[in-house]
Structure 1
Amino acid sequence: MKKILVIGSFTMDLVALTPRAPMEGETIIGTSFQQFTGGKGANQAVAAARLGADVTMFGKLGRDSFGEAHIETLKREGVNYEYILFAENESSGVGHITLEANGNNRIIVIPGTNHKVTPEDVENIEVQIKNSDIIMLQLEIPFDTVYKSIELAHKHNKTIILNPAPAVKLKEEYVKLVDYIVPNETEAAILTGIEVNTIETARKAGRKLLDLGCKNVIITLGSKGVLLINDNEEIFKESFKVKPVDTTAAGDSFIGAFAYSLSHGVEHAKALEYACAVGAITVTKMGAQPSLPNFSEVEKFIKERQIVKVN
């Protein structure tokens, strides 16, 4: 089994459940409030680890109760956290999530220590990058730090998975070094200038990203499914039909599961189907990391839906 290194973010998700999101200037009464460990980097690390992957997490936390909670979570989930840094007099990242009764969400992220992860910090873990096989990245840490991570991962011939979220235009010279870029519909639209709301428009956006030099493009289309495109294949997988409770971390669980599949040498079609199953399970439960399924949950889902197993 190949080793996964996640370089990314931590946030403490503060979730307000409400019948609907308030309009501008409006106050409404919410249903409940909960607190969960999250952040795209940490979510993807935990998602892969719960399935049985060998995962190391790198990022930066504050010396506060939120930071302590993240370390306890990683410890419990079996994620290697020994390289995580702590910033003095800085707060850990926070995510404010308004979750509607239909499962849709609106998220505001206050980066905190996530924006204190520097290119020099990444250079200091070059040995860990060299000793890993798959490097997973997102955009909740500074762009220069992400670019440095891509440089070092490419230097050591590692498989690079980039989740371009929150989406911004990326430098083309770094896109060319990425093995898998995994945006959702909104992110793909920002990256390409093509509005993505159908399989056909996703195909056009995917082809444009390939033209920029990325080796594989995976566009997640929510309830419609997922599309993978490269120079040799095009694969579309429909989503599994479930009743959504909370869509938070659906994309993170998909990416973590896809990386887990790659770490076992699984072909793309099976890896996509497995990741879709993991994403479907995730949206049926509340919270980011609490909703991420473990191996046995996925096995049960697979058996019920008669999906081909990963391993």
Structure 2
Amino acid sequence: MILVIGSINQDIVAKVNHLPKVGETILASSGEYFFGGKGANQAIACAKLGAECAFIGRVGADKFGQAYLNNFNQHNIDCQGVIVSKSSGTGLAFITVDEQAHNNIVVMQNANKEITINDVLAYEKLIDQCEFILLQLEIPLEAVKQIISLAYQKGKKIILNPAPCQKLNPELLSKLYVLTPNETEAYQIVNKALNTDTTNINNLVAVGQQILTQGVKNLIITIGSYGVLHFYQNEVYHYKGYLVNAEDTTGAGDTFNGALLYYLSQGYSFPEAITNAQAAAALCTLKLGAQTAMPTAQEVSEFVNKVGVSERMLIKR
């Protein structure tokens, strides 16, 4: 079984012709409500691919929270660990998407910020039953640190998607099986000023190697359409991205993380898991919304068979 611990949000998505500048008010061409939250998105991605998945998190005692519990049940996700908060509403995310599928996101944590280690200890049996645990940083960092320490003591394989990025110390990083920042988060982890071109591979390799010295076993940096960098020991591999006509990139990162976890849990090698996760993320961008666009394992397989395995190149040893 896979366990995901993290955030649950109701996404409110506005389609616009361009992202607003500072002080600018613009009109949306359309708007929709979607289920979201990095934690929940990643759990749904796992479940749609076919994983046996459980979730620990919080919702509010409101219509969004009840709808989310129904959503988890419809995807056969064990949601006994989802606590209904009496003092906060369900998390909200306000997402603006432009005609080039670029987006910006503002999140109100609400019930998500109430998550503590006690929530997890109340459902410790879920940790005992799983092999892999996936976390993000849309819940309190102190809770994440304590959860990672508990899971590490139990010998679990921990994947951390450090989004939104916060200060991470070497003690925490050394307990991770996989760390999955995007290019911006990778720079932030090492407190390095953002290069004007964060997708520059050579710059990212240097940043990644600096992160690796802090004890992470596997570092996977996602670079959007430019692909993925995988750091393991002294080797760095670049996987080229799949080029598709993206409609909405909102859920691509979460789909990648959920799919990576799913394929690793099924015994796939890192090259196989990364390629399939890239394919899943590419497919997710073809529709509006995060969870509604996430593919099944059959759709991923058909896509890879049609367009081929993403090119993998050893760029440093």
**TM-score class, shorter:** over 0.9
Q: Deviations over 1:26-79 (max 9, x none)?
A: 222211010000000000000011111111011011111110111111111111
Q: Match for 1:238: what amino acid?
A: K
- Choose which of 27, 31, 55 in structure 1 pairs with 2:29: 31
Q: Where has structure 1 moved over 6 Å in runs of 4 or more?
A: none
Q: Match for 1:14: what amino acid?
A: I
Separation of aligned partners in 2, 1:67 and 1:295: 28
Contact 1:126/1:152, CA 8 A, preserved across alignment: no
- Choose which of 114, 117, 120 in structure 2 pairs with 1:119: 117
Separation of aligned partners in 1, 2:232 and 2:96: 36
Q: Match for 1:157: what amino acid?
A: G
Look up the match of 2:148.
150
Shift of 1:200: 1.4
- Choose which of 216, 222, 228 in structure 2 pairs with 1:220: 222
Separation of aligned partners in 1, 2:4 and 2:271: 23
Matched, 1:83 2:85: no
Look up the match of 2:209.
207
Separation of aligned partners in 2, 1:205 and 1:306: 30
Contact 2:248/2:288, CA 8 A, preserved across alignment: yes
Give the 3-state SS of the residue equivalent to 1:223 in structure 2: helix
Shift of 1:126: 2.1
Shift of 1:229: 0.3
Shift of 1:125: 2.1
Contact 1:50/1:77, CA 8 A, preserved across alignment: yes
Shift of 1:227: 0.5
Contact 2:12/2:34, CA 8 A, preserved across alignment: yes
Separation of aligned partners in 1, 2:84 and 2:149: 24
Shift of 1:183: 0.2
Look up the match of 1:245.
247
Give the 3-state SS of the residue equivalent to 1:113 in structure 2: helix
Q: Match for 2:156: what amino acid?
A: K
Separation of aligned partners in 2, 1:72 and 1:232: 45
Count of residues paired in the alignment: 306
Give the 3-state SS of the residue equivalent to 1:243 in structure 2: coil
Q: How does 1:2-81 map to 2 (within 5 A)?
A: 3-81=1-79
Q: TM-score, normalised by structure 2?
A: 0.94
Separation of aligned partners in 1, 2:48 and 2:205: 32
Look up the match of 2:189.
191
Give the 3-state SS of the residue equivalent to 1:12 in structure 2: strand
Q: Match for 1:258: what amino acid?
A: L
Give the 3-state SS of the residue equivalent to 2:81 in structure 1: coil
Q: Match for 1:222: what amino acid?
A: G
Separation of aligned partners in 1, 2:243 and 2:297: 20
Q: Match for 1:226: what amino acid?
A: V
Separation of aligned partners in 2, 1:204 and 1:70: 41
Give the 3-state SS of the residue equivalent to 2:256 in structure 1: helix
Give the 3-state SS of the residue equivalent to 1:245 in structure 2: coil
Shift of 1:232: 4.9
Q: Match for 1:87: what amino acid?
A: S
Shift of 1:244: 1.0
Give the 3-state SS of the residue equivalent to 1:14 in structure 2: strand
Separation of aligned partners in 1, 2:278 and 2:265: 17
Give the 3-state SS of the residue equivalent to 1:6 in structure 2: strand
- Choose which of 134, 137, 149 in structure 2 pairs with 1:136: 134
Look up the match of 2:299.
297
Which deviates further from its counterpart, 122-131 or 85-94? 122-131
Shift of 1:193: 3.0
Contact 1:94/1:112, CA 8 A, preserved across alignment: yes
Q: Deviations over 1:148-185 (max 9, x none)?
A: 11011101100000000000111221111111000001
Structure 1 gap ranges (5+): none
Contact 1:235/1:269, CA 8 A, preserved across alignment: no
Q: Deviations over 1:107-135 (max 9, x none)?
A: 00000000000122122222211111000
Separation of aligned partners in 2, 1:161 and 1:6: 10
Identity over aligned pairs, percent: 38
Give the 3-state SS of the residue equivalent to 2:78 in structure 1: coil
Matched, 1:263 2:291: no
Shift of 1:299: 2.3
